[in-house]
Amino acid sequence: MTFAVHNRTTRISLAVALLFAAAVLTPAASPAQDAPPVAPQTPSDALTEILGSACRLNEAQFSTHLAGDNAAAFRALSPEMRLKVMQRISLSDQSGKPLLVSGKDGLPAMRCQGPGTTVEYHLGVPRVHENLAFVPVSVVDGADADFGLIRETGGWHLLSIGLVLFDVPQLAKQWAVSDAAAREETAVQDLRDLSEAVKRYYRVFGAMPESLTVLGPAPKDQISAEQASLVDQSMAAGKKDGYGFRYRIVPDAAGNDTGFELAATPLKYPDMGKRSFYMDSAGKVHGADKRGAVAMFEDPLIDGEKSE
């Protein structure tokens, strides 16, 4: 059954009434930042959002894209580790601005533009099988990898990177071990660099430095025995790259101050590193897991060092 409205006034009144009803029944629009995110319609859309939130280092947004229990596990991580997880995805240490750019053959591409670096991702054609999808991603001047996604309630969520399942607790543990090992290598190199700085000080000023402090930066054209400008401010303060550094003058057989010893100890054991290191007066580096204590001469020489 249909009704025709012939009177013009009646037609206008009816239109106004319908508009009023629509206004009453439709919720008021909220500001864009308060509106719940709309679930991406394709795996590529979802991955673009994942990369964008990682680029911004936006913890709250990034966690919404994680599959299964990973969102809760991610929020339970320390602030430093949450940051590390997103940095591993974005391939950048600092927050950036994600920009959509033209990809190859009309496929999606995104650029993460940060203060000191720019990373560009080119997405390939997704391979979708039921609730699983794998999106090939090529990083300009970087490695290629397939990102695995799973369709759960609310859309597509991150499941794997390459062949590695994105298990937040396990990955965080592995990355922490890897980072600690890298800091140990850096600490050994810092010891060697510091040793060269001490030797140079001795050659220039004819005496051993009284402390690490005097090796620190000097004002322009004001280098002196008190400010030799041989190491940066961090090393002059005895703390660098997650390690604390100690310096001790070692007298020779005649009692002259001609030798020295150095030590490097993780500032936060075992997060910053497990091994402590000691450089003897002959320049040999010893190292061992001292559970945060200072290494000594009795500790074994590290790989690459040979006893004389």
Residues 190 and 250 in one domain: yes
Averaged pLDDT of the chain: 85
In a domain, 274, yes or no: yes
Q: pTM of whole model > 0.75?
A: no
Neighbour-count burial of 195, counting CB atoms closer than 10 A to its CB (0-12 exposed, 13-18 middle, 19+ buried): middle
Q: Is residue 236 part of a domain?
A: yes
Question: Domain limits at 235?
Answer: 179-289
- Confidence band for 1, pLDDT divided at 50, 70 and 90: very low
User: Which of 134-148, 169-183, 280-294 is predicted most confidently?
Assistant: 280-294
Measuring CA to CA, how many Å separate 261 from each of 194, 195, 203?
11, 9, 17
- The pLDDT tens digits of the residues spanning 169-217 come to 888 888 888 888 999 999 999 999 999 999 999 999 999 999 999 999 9
Give the Å distances, CA to CA, from 307 to 261, 264, 281, 297, 302: 16, 20, 13, 12, 10
pLDDT value of residue 225: 96
Query: Which pLDDT score, from 0 to 100, does residue 37 have?
Result: 56
Residue 80, helix vs strand vs coil:
helix
- What is the average pLDDT across 120-148? 93
**42 and 134 together in one domain:** yes
Tell me: do 213 and 139 sit in the same domain.
no
**CA gap 182, 184 in Å, rounded:** 5
Structure tokens at 96: 């950036």
Residue 156 lies in a domain: yes
> 30 or 116: whose pLDDT is higher?
116
For residue 286, the tally of other CB atoms under 10 A from its CB is 20
Mean pLDDT lowest among 2-11, 109-118, 297-306: 2-11
Q: Which residues on neighbouring strands pair with residue 120, listed in sequence order?
A: 111
Does 261 share its domain with 162?
Answer: no
d(CA 112, CA 10): 57
Q: Give the CATH number, domain containing residue 86.
A: 3.10.450
31: confidence class by pLDDT, cuts 50, 70, 90: very low
Same domain, 283 and 204: yes
CA 293, CA 218: separation in Å to the nearest integer? 32
Average pLDDT (75-82) is 89
Residue 157 is assigned to a structural domain of this protein? yes
Among candidate residues 102, 134, 166, the one where a domain is terminated: 166
